[in-house]
Chains A and B, each alone.
Chain A
Amino acid sequence: MSADSVRMAVDSQRCIGGGQCEMLEPEVFLVDDDEAVSSVIGSGVLPRARADVVVHRCPGAAVSIVGPES
């Protein structure tokens, strides 16, 4: 993506499976309906500003930014 893109991660222990992340960024997060837990899919990369929104909105404090894109 761009210089300002970051890599995302989900802490499956903390995730409560409500799917806010998937609603906001369906290309990057996928919630498994049976286990009700989210994981990172695809490139796992988001522009910084959008990454911050997901981190802010995740009720389980399970989404984090693990570092720059590469």
Chain B
Amino acid sequence: MSPTAAPAPPLAPEIADPRLYLDGIPHERFAQIRAMPGLGWHAYGDNGFWAVTRHADVREVSRNPAVFSSSIGHTNLWDLEADALEARRSLIDTDAPDHTRLRRMVAGAFTPKNIRRWTDTVREITVELLDEFEARGGGDWVELVAAPLPIRVILAMLGVPVADADYLVELSNYLVEGTGDTQSIPPDAFGNTTELRLLPFNSPASHALFEYGEDIRAKRRAEPRDDLVTHLVRAEADGGRISRHEYRHLFHLLVFAGNETTRTAISHGAMALAANRDQWQRVLDDRALVESATEEVIRWATPILHMRRTAASDCELAGTPIAAGDKVVMWYASANRDEAAFADPFRFDAGRADGEHFAFGGGGPHLCLGAFLARLEVSVLLEEMAARRLVLEQLGEPVRAASNFVHGVLSVDMAPAAGSSGGPR
């Protein structure tokens, strides 16, 4: 930790313990940190991190990648040994120029214009899942709707058989466990022989996902198609614009990042709509609100709670001196409830028009690649729920992930409300 000579910085309350998140985000603690002058210092492991919790400060960190680096340290708050960091490095843990090169490898597929082309696919999948949900009279929303929707969409984009969706959802679930304290599978699961600390999320499921990516790569090399994997395979063949390591990690990232996050948004979104029926009624009465409701669902959910940067040089943020090498952790979970950016931030408002939320990151070069895809999925879901006038009723408490990184919901029972489409009359 840096400030040895300087007076001790104000200490932030505990926010890193994954168990705190079993009952939801510890919002009061974040509010305390937002109210502190400057940044709060948080002890963690054998050094600690600066807790960046205000909306404006998160933006500042995101938009200054030359100072707040993604490649020097890990982008999660826990530390990695140097060899593990290298072995696990993906797009997310790079800075320009590597970042720009890798990002452009896939960016074209995710522009608003090109994402819009997937609208019909997203709609077909959504209708099928909602039909099934209604036919069963409800059930676990995560299993029936929130998990399968994004995975089927990203698999369609990658060009991966839909029959493998369940397997990839299962792998993602194990990866999420790796962000918490528990792993329910043994180190040699899926035939893994790699040391766990060298695998993303310390999880043998990462090995399985890499293998899966290699398998598809081999198939597309032999028989090219019009899909994202073929595109990446071409880039690899084409003078090594992307290395084998980069391909493996990009594939892993596309599957995991595109799936766990959107699932979380859809799960929290359903809970918010069930708990705030007046807000859902507004959308039913005026479909023009789908766009703002989509953003509000994503702000409300904030599926990724934090991302970390590491100071590349001595600098200052919010009046707090930061030393080169210090960890700087942006808490999106807090920025998205910042009173300075949102009027009445703890209110779910389907027509909200005030702030720019940071669920996709604070607006720097790592801004979520899949943001427009996730928006499309959430908005088509809301449209289709509205079209059939489906009103949700939440049955019981959700089972949450014990994680300080993802705002995960493992399961939550929902049913069509009485009188609503698919519900008891």
Contacts and interface: CB of A to CB of B under 8 A. Distances in A.
A67 B374 CA distance: 36
A19 B366 CA distance: 14
Interface stretch (B111-119, B128-136, B269-277, B386-394): B111-119
Interface stretch (A2-10, A29-37, A42-50): A29-37
A31 to B, nearest CB: 6
Interface in B74-115: 96-97, 99-100, 103-108, 110-114
Interface residues of A, number: 22
A65 B111 CA distance: 23
Contacts of B148: none
* Chain A contact surface mostly: loop
Contacts, number: 65
B364 A18 contact: no
B239 to A, nearest CB: 15
Nearest to A24: B112
Contact of A59 (B104, B105, B108, B364): B364
A34 B364 contact: no
A30 B114 CA distance: 13
Interface in B133-159: none
Given A14-B100, A61-B63, A22 B113 contact: yes
B363 interface: yes
A23 B104 CA distance: 17
Contacts of A56: 363
A27 B106 CA distance: 24
A14 B96 contact: yes
A13 interface: yes
B86 to A, nearest CB: 23
A16 B100 contact: yes
A31 B63 CA distance: 21
Interface of A: 13-20, 22-23, 31-37, 56-57, 59-61
Complex A-B, nearest 5 residue pairs according to Cβ-Cβ distance, in ascending order: A19-B111, A17-B107, A36-B107, A36-B104, A59-B367
